[in-house]
Structure 1
Amino acid sequence: MSCLAEDPKAVSSPARRWSGLWMKNKKAINNVLFAMHLQSLPKPPKNSHPVSSSPQSIKAQDFAVPVPVSDRTSLLADETLLYILSKLPDSQRNSNSLVSKRWLNLQGRLVRSLKLLQWDFLVSGRLFHRFPNLIHVDLVNGSVVSPRNSGIFCSNNAVSFHVDSILNPNDNGSKILLGSQEIDAGLEVLANGYPNLRRLSAMNASEMGVLSVAEDCPTLQELELHNCNDQVLRGIAACHNLQILRLVGNLDGFYKSSVSDVGLTILAQGCKRLVKLELSGCEGSYEGIKAIGQCCQMLEELTICDHRMEDGWLYALCYCWSLRTLRFVSCGRIDRRSSEFSEEIGFCPTLERLHLEKCQLRDGSSLGVLFSVCQEVREVMFHNCWGLDNDMFRTALIFRRVKFLSIEGCSRLTIEGLEHVLLSSKELRSLRVVSCKSIKDSETSQALSALFSSLKDLKWRPDTKSLVSATIAGSGMGKRGSRFFRKGCDWKSLPGA
């Protein structure tokens, strides 16, 4: 018989893993990190001689204990770590910049767009050290002298700021805006620091400030100027590669300036590569719009916001041969029929989209002139337009090729005027009617219902009652409850289960 027995400790002990052995051996990890650190150090010259060649010194150099590294990312090159940070979502940008000063600087190199809030941050040069690779800078809010302790806060789509008292429109923004000379000095510093700037928003600049940006930033493609006038447009004309331009001449209660036909003509002769143009609070007439249409032959989108133009300017739109989108926003009036241009009226052959938003449609004749110029459109939108009634909407019969029609927030339009136009639109494919309280479901005719069934896309919610009925349609609610709440019913047999 054999007296040998198995060791109980050997049987019960679990199998050791390589990961456990590796994590327990911290000395091996330190040796690996020390080797990586030695490879990154520069090599000594070949002709250099050691100071001491004793065996004790050589042994001390060969077997020196490496210092543990607390920040493992310090072993990575800036380019490698920058590539890793660029792959992280933007929501982690602020938290990543708090890790260390190095991460703060690297994260600043990834920022491309910035809205400036303090003007001193620009003129002191800290902006360039913190964010060296910006291509989009918004200086509008930084151009406002805003007291932080004030309890009065003014907000607009363009700018938000605090004020000490109620603004006086006659002050022309002089009390709360930085001076033109200070703005020009900041624009010159900005242009020198960012020669690859592509998008810029500024306020209260002069001709020299815009000219410095145009000369030092040849890749500038998008420009937005607030409180500008005809003289400022001379500097914009030097931006030969400009494609998107927004001009804000007047902002009620904040500032007031003038952009007339003189400035529009200068703009048209200088910026011939414009693709999108927005005129907000600008003055002008037939001659200014005609010059833009003849010179800016690549113009595809024109937005008119709160215009102060003279009567007859709509007739000049026929010179915009490449125009595809025409948008009106917050316009108190569109135009009036003028006998001077009645014989020269034409239309835009390439126009595809006509959008009217927050406009007051008071005159049916001016709306008829607009529809005549835009008779070839495929997409028409009326959003929150006051005064649009059945008589005015009937003038839309001229849109024979419209395929998409959207009506929202037009309370005076009824089902009678809507049906008269829809039944005449033979190419209509999409319809959207939302928040029009005078349009009732009960007044829908069979012909209109048949038209709805032939559409590819339909959104019909003219009032709250229609919204509720459309929500519960097909759910079976409103019927006898015994069908749903009888004892022992099978939930799989319920509608929608």
Structure 2
Amino acid sequence: MSYSPEKPNPNPPLKRPPSWPDLWLKNTKALKHVVFTMQLQSLNKPDKTLIFDRPQSDRTLLLSDEILLHILSKVPKSQQNPNSLVCKRWLNLQGRLVRSLKVLDWEFLESGRLVSRFPNLTHVDLVHGCLVSPRNSGILLNHHRIVSIHIDSAFEAKGFIPKKYWLSNEVIDKGLKALASGCPNLRKLAMIAASEMGLLNVAEECSTLQELELHRCSDNTLRAIAACENLQVLKLIGNVDGLYSSLVSDIGLTILAQGCKRLVKLELSGCEGSFDGIKAIGQCCQMLEELTLCDHRMDGGWLSALSYCENLKTLRIRSCKVIDQSPGPDEYLGSCPALEKLHLQKCQLRDKRNVRALFMVCEAVREIVIQDCWGLDNDMFIMASTCRRVKSLSLEVCSLLTTGGLESLIFSWKEFQRLRVVSCNNIKDSEVSPALSTLFTVLKELKWRPDTKSLLSSTLVGTDMGKKGGKFFKRSRDLLSR
């Protein structure tokens, strides 16, 4: 059968499928599509080595450290730790953003890794790092607001933590020296059992140090603290029942007062002293505005030294068994002319002479807060009438006070504006007189929860109580909106 060119061939020859070289040379568009698809799939894989092992794929390399730091600083704190795992550069940059740190491993500080990892620290807490705890112990010795430590089963409760749980002074000094040399911009430091030499290194290297919290301190330690000329906030913890014992007396308080003349806030916890120590602080630290005494061991007569604190605005007394054993004659007590706030928390107010002397010294106060204080009955409470300028009163867990005692006192205050009564079971809704309910209507702020079962009783319905206060708050919001 002859073949004619006009007719199609019924049995055409089979075409060879295109090879990879043909596609490589002729169909480059398809090749690009395949390569792009492979790259896209690699981006979706959890294996990050495909991305970050190649510098050309890291677009952040085009950004300077300053720009990338600014971007990372805007990231929420919950994502900061994952960001530090991206690469070594991000790890280092994230470390430069950390400002506050609590150290649990002292070797991390002593080896210099802390300073190299976090060079811009301003707030450091070394309290837990100064203690050596058994790693596999399930027994936890805890003291609220101070410290918690794991102990072994051989621990004998003799009132103090054994020496084997404390780091030696040489080790602490070495760590403080590394911290001071690596973090010259340190502003706040908290530590325990520091020696004089270690704190001197901090005082010399960290001239910007403003806040210091020192546990288990003594008079000798305060010599070094006095070298911190720019110190403004200081918390000293001397003796803590059940944990440790150390001595802070008038000698240390005098040294402190002569060295730290820029103090604004001072807290003395478990410290001894007397009239002389508080007087030295009042005379030398003329910028002192806030003084807190917690579980103090002061000798009798210290209360009258508060009159030397001419610019004191806030006085806090917490967990004190006795305010002042022997306050002395009234003519020697004096007063704090600038005092605005008096806070009493978990104190024993059983001695009328002590309570009376305290209110006489605080006669200029504008705000009184009494929380969970034992022995405060109506006879004690009425002594606060000496403070004639009180505008705000807060009572919480004062079980001996009655409605009559409260009423007799607040009617003696002509400038009274704010009242808060919480969990005072002997103050009854049913005993509120019409005169007291009328006073409630003109208060700017009122929180009345004498017990947990009821608010104001139905006998006060119809007295328009709280309406004037509501108008006051509405007026305040209008002023703020303008």
Shift of 1:149: 1.0
Give the corresponding residue for 1:413: 401
Superimposed CA distance per residue, residues 237-291 of structure 1 (whole angstroms, 9 cap, x where no aligned partner): 1111111100000111111001000000000011111000000000000000000
In 2, distance between residues paired with 1:169 and 1:245? 30
Give the corresponding residue for 2:229: 240
Query: Structure 1 residue aligned with 2:244, among 251, 255, 263?
Result: 255
Equivalent residues of 1:434, 1:461 under 8 A apart: yes
| 1:296 paired to 2:285 | yes
**Quick check: 76-85 or 426-435, which moved more?**
76-85
TM-score computed with the length of structure 1 as normaliser: 0.79
| Alignment of structure 1 residues 433-448 onto 2, 5 Å | 433-448=421-436
DSSP-derived class of the 2:105 partner: coil
| 1:197 paired to 2:156 | no
In 2, distance between residues paired with 1:200 and 1:137? 5
Shift of 1:95: 2.2
Give the corresponding residue for 1:459: 447
Number of residues of Structure 1 aligned to a counterpart in Structure 2 = 411
| Alignment of structure 1 residues 114-133 onto 2, 5 Å | 114-133=101-120
Give the corresponding residue for 2:468: none
Query: Structure 2 residue aligned with 1:145, among 129, 132, 135?
Result: 132
Shift of 1:69: 4.1
| Alignment of structure 1 residues 45-444 onto 2, 5 Å | 69-156=56-143, 157-165=145-153, 166=155, 168-169=157-158, 171=160, 173-339=162-328, 342-444=330-432
In 1, distance between residues paired with 2:173 and 2:377? 49
TM-score computed with the length of structure 2 as normaliser: 0.82
**Quick check: 172-181 or 312-321, which moved more?**
172-181
Shift of 1:342: 4.1
Shift of 1:175: 2.5
Identical positions, percent: 64
With over 3 angstroms needed to count, the CA separation of the structure-2 counterparts of 1:173 and 1:350, relative to structure 1, is farther
Equivalent residues of 1:200, 1:223 under 8 A apart: yes
**Quick check: 435-444 or 100-109, which moved more?**
100-109
DSSP-derived class of the 1:466 partner: coil
Shift of 1:73: 2.3
Structure 2 gap ranges (5+): 1-31, 40-53, 463-482
Equivalent residues of 1:169, 1:254 under 8 A apart: no
Equivalent residues of 2:160, 2:241 under 8 A apart: no
Equivalent residues of 1:237, 1:271 under 8 A apart: yes
With over 3 angstroms needed to count, the CA separation of the structure-2 counterparts of 1:363 and 1:173, relative to structure 1, is farther
DSSP-derived class of the 1:246 partner: strand
Shift of 1:343: 3.1
In 2, distance between residues paired with 1:386 and 1:322? 30
Letter of the 1:100 partner, please give it: C
In 2, distance between residues paired with 1:334 and 1:316? 13
In 1, distance between residues paired with 2:178 and 2:158? 31
DSSP-derived class of the 1:153 partner: strand
Equivalent residues of 1:302, 1:325 under 8 A apart: yes
Superimposed CA distance per residue, residues 75-128 of structure 1 (whole angstroms, 9 cap, x where no aligned partner): 322221111011122222222222222222111110000000000000011101
Equivalent residues of 1:336, 1:365 under 8 A apart: no
Shift of 1:338: 3.8
Give the corresponding residue for 1:17: none
Superimposed CA distance per residue, residues 445-488 of structure 1 (whole angstroms, 9 cap, x where no aligned partner): 01110110110100000102224979xx99xxxxxxxxxxxxxx
In 1, distance between residues paired with 2:330 and 2:55? 86
In 2, distance between residues paired with 1:107 and 1:451? 57
Superimposed CA distance per residue, residues 170-219 of structure 1 (whole angstroms, 9 cap, x where no aligned partner): 65642311122211111111111111111111111111111111111111
In 2, distance between residues paired with 1:195 and 1:239? 13
With over 3 angstroms needed to count, the CA separation of the structure-2 counterparts of 1:173 and 1:244, relative to structure 1, is farther
With over 3 angstroms needed to count, the CA separation of the structure-2 counterparts of 1:73 and 1:454, relative to structure 1, is same
With over 3 angstroms needed to count, the CA separation of the structure-2 counterparts of 1:441 and 1:331, relative to structure 1, is same
With over 3 angstroms needed to count, the CA separation of the structure-2 counterparts of 1:173 and 1:370, relative to structure 1, is farther
Structure 1 gap ranges (5+): 1-22, 31-66, 475-497
